């Protein structure tokens, strides 16, 4: 999508009041006007409880419709509210992407006894002791839903591992044993084999599991009308299954969009994943996020801000982001970009030509307790305005020093005029940049409002643009 922007429409601590879908629906007219083109919804299926953000998935087919795990609704609302939200988004021209959790299931309805072996959590290829019977929660019968939409019931044969043995009362990582049953080889090699992440790990090679998930995908897309999936925990999922699922969905929804989370800073195994899935999914640019985090945290050479990122190596597949629900304060992957750097960070993902950027709900609307933070809506709206009016055409970089970088966008036939962006992470500075021969003699102003001055473009289409300390200025024709 040309100049498209995703809003990740949730943070970890959204209030558990069941009104989030209604809140988002009320916001859609403004979001559409501001330049948001797609919403990434939180996991919409029934999880362990209404307090669950959605990643402790219980029943994929329950979208807030059945009385299960203590409530009909999910943390975010009911199925009817979800469907109304999606209709409203579509009415305003926004795409809607669903965050789907297929790697694991949680809080089963019954325990089962089966053969397993404990493995080393730091190297899952190493067994600790002999195989023995354990007892764990692996039987999912969905008593509140019954056979509606699917009569498939899960048992231990449909999983590869669990994290608790109630016979011994011990926690650990237990690989379930059985014929042709093992960790997948098509996953990250981190920790020896990173098939297992949490809860009851789904065996994506099991034919009954594959069939039910394929059926669910078609049912879910036809029921909700969503336009894409964001895959959770891709480095833990069998890559062959992911490719098969993508091809299955494209057989009936050829324009369906896929992107996902492969949480690894370096290119490394992400490149292997992209090869295995034939470049059919975009990925969050985790490497760029960590570069932004490092740049905000101390001395950093801004000329290296895109080093090792997907934007650098696979710009057509990159979903750059500043922060998300996993990196916000209080979470296991906390690496929250310092607020002083947010304007710089969002300029770097919103005002350049590469990637399909994603704005974080917590940055836009703010974070709730226990780590409250005021939102940056006005600042981000200003950058969205600049993106949608001026960030078009050829891009020329002027990465001149460790603390001073800039670039220009030279416009297009449909969007004439140029944009000059200058960033300083140090003192006030200036930088000479080319904005086009057609801009000769014109006067430029800082559309962010950071500088009150005006810049004159010389006879050759160059201007000396200025920026304040630790700030961004965006210059356009007055």
């203590």: which residue's tokens?
70
Q: Please classify residue 45 by burial: count the beta carbons closer than 10 Å to its beta carbon, then call 0-12 exposed, 13-18 middle and 19+ buried.
A: buried
Assigned token pair, 185: 């080889």
For residues 72-94, b (16+ Cβ closer than 10 Å) or e, as one string?
A: bbbbbbbbebbbebbebbeeeeb
d(CA 387, CA 353): 10
358-360, strands of its sheet edge to edge: 318-319, 282-284, 257-260, 228-231, 95-100, 38-41, 6-8, 358-360
Closest CA to 8 of 249, 346, 358: 358
User: CB under 8 Å, gap of 24 or more: what pairs does 209-212 form?
Assistant: 209/158, 210/241, 210/244, 212/150, 212/152
367 near 342, Cβ under 8 Å? no
Closest CA to 42 of 81, 10, 83: 10
Catalytic residues: 232, 261
- Give Cβ neighbours of residue 180 (< 8 Å, ≥ 6 apart): none
């059926």: which residue's tokens?
215
d(CA 398, CA 424): 12
- Give Cβ neighbours of residue 36 (< 8 Å, ≥ 6 apart): 5, 6, 7, 94, 359, 384
CA distances from 273 to 17, 191, 234, 237 (A): 38, 17, 9, 10
98 near 228, Cβ under 8 Å? yes
d(CA 392, CA 92): 23
């Amino acid at each position: 999508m040309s100049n498209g922007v995703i809003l990740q429409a949730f943070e970890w601590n959204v209030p558990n009041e069941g009104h989030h879908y209604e809140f988002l629906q009320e916001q859609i007219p403004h979001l559409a006007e501001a330049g948001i083109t797609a919403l990434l919804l939180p996991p919409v299926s029934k999880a362990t409880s209404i307090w669950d953000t959605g990643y402790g998935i219980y029943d994929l087919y329950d979208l807030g419709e059945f009385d299960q795990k203590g409530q009909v609704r999910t943390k975010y609302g009911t199925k009817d509210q979800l469907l109304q939200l999606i209709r409203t988004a579509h009415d305003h021209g926004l795409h809607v992407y669903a965050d789907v959790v297929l790697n694991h299931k949680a809080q089963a309805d019954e325990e089962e006894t089966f053969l397993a072996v404990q493995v080393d959590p730091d190297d899952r290829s190493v067994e600790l002791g002999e195989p023995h019977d354990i007892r764990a929660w692996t039987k999912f019968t969905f008593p509140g839903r019954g056979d509606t939409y699917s009569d498939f019931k899960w048992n231990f044969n449909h999983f590869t591992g669990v994290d608790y043995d109630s016979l011994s009362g011990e926690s650990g990582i237990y690989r379930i044993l059985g014929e042709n049953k093992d960790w997948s080889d098509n996953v990250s090699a981190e920790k020896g084999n990173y098939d297992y992440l949490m809860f009851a790990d789904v065996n994506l090679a099991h034919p009954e599991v594959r069939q039910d998930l394929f059926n669910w995908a078609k049912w879910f897309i036809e029921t909700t009308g969503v336009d894409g999936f964001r895959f959770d925990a891709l480095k833990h999922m069998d890559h062959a299954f992911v490719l098969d699922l993508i091809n299955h969905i494209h057989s009936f929804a050829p324009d369906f969009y896929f992107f996902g989370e492969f949480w690894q800073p370096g290119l490394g195994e992400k490149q292997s994943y992209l090869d295995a899935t034939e470049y059919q999914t975009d990925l969050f640019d985790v490497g760029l996020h960590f570069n932004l985090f490092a740049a905000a945290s101390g001395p950093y050479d801004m000329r290296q801000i895109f080093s090792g990122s997907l934007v650098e190596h696979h710009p057509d597949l990159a979903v750059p982001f500043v922060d998300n629900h996993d990196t916000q304060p209080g979470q296991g992957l906390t690496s929250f970009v310092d607020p002083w750097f947010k304007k710089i960070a969002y300029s770097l993902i919103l005002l350049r030509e590469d990637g399909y950027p994603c704005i974080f709900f917590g940055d836009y609307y703010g974070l709730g307790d226990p780590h409250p933070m005021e939102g940056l809506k006005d600042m981000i709206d200003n950058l969205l305005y600049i993106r949608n009016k001026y960030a078009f055409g050829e891009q020329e970089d002027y990465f001149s020093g460790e603390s001073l970088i800039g670039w220009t966008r030279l416009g297009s036939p449909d969007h004439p005029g140029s944009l000059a962006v200058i960033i300083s992470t140090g003192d006030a500075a200036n930088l000479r940049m080319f904005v086009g021969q057609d801009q000769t003699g014109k006067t430029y102003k800082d559309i962010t409002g950071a500088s009150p001055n005006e810049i004159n473009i010389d006879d050759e289409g160059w201007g000396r643009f200025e920026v304040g300390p630790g700030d961004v200025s965006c210059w356009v024709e007055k």
